[in-house]
Amino acid sequence: MSSVQANLRYTKDHEWVMVEEEIAIVGITDHAQSELGDITFIELPEEDAEFNGGDEAANIESVKAASPVYAPVTGTIVEVNGDLEESPENVNHDPYDSGWIFKIEMKDPSELDYLMDSEEYESYLEELADNS
């Protein structure tokens, strides 16, 4: 079973969001990294780039597939995890800490209300497993 952290919000595309004031820190979930397999490259967004919630903001390549990472909320990228350029495998080893991908300053924090909490995300993962 994939690790799900209680203090985060989640998308159906398997991004996680940690909120610190007006900043949303974004990464992919343990489930997503495990499905992708060994991550070999991450295309990070540009700082100061603006995205609407649901826009493709980054890309992850692995030995199995390439996968987009979506902005879970509308806002402006204020920081990217440059360590991932040299060590993309950090997402595999520690998706919720050193594997974060970008930080986005939220334009409308109420968009967080549309994301799942940890219990909803765990139910969603069970539903996916039942349907596979």
Residue 116 C-alpha from the chain's centroid: 13
pLDDT on residue 132: 76
Nearest to 120 by CA among 12, 26, 2, 30: 12
pTM assigned to the model: 0.95
CA dist 1 and 47 (Å) reads 34
Provide the residue type at 18 as one letter.
M
- What is the set of domains in the chain, with CATH numbers? 9-130 (2.40.50.100)
Question: Which pair of structure tokens corresponds to residue 39?
Answer: 């991550």
For 83, what's the count of Cα atoms within 13 Å in the CB-facing half-sphere? 10
Residue 106 C-alpha from the chain's centroid: 15
Question: What are 34-68's pLDDT values in tens digits?
Answer: 999 999 999 999 999 999 999 999 999 999 999 99
Name the pLDDT band for 16 (thresholds 50, 70, 90): very high
CA dist 9 and 85 (Å) reads 25
Instruction: For 57, list phi and psi in degrees, rounded to 5.
Output: -110, -25
Which residues sit opposite 56 in a β-bridge?
70
Q: How many residues in the chain? A: 132
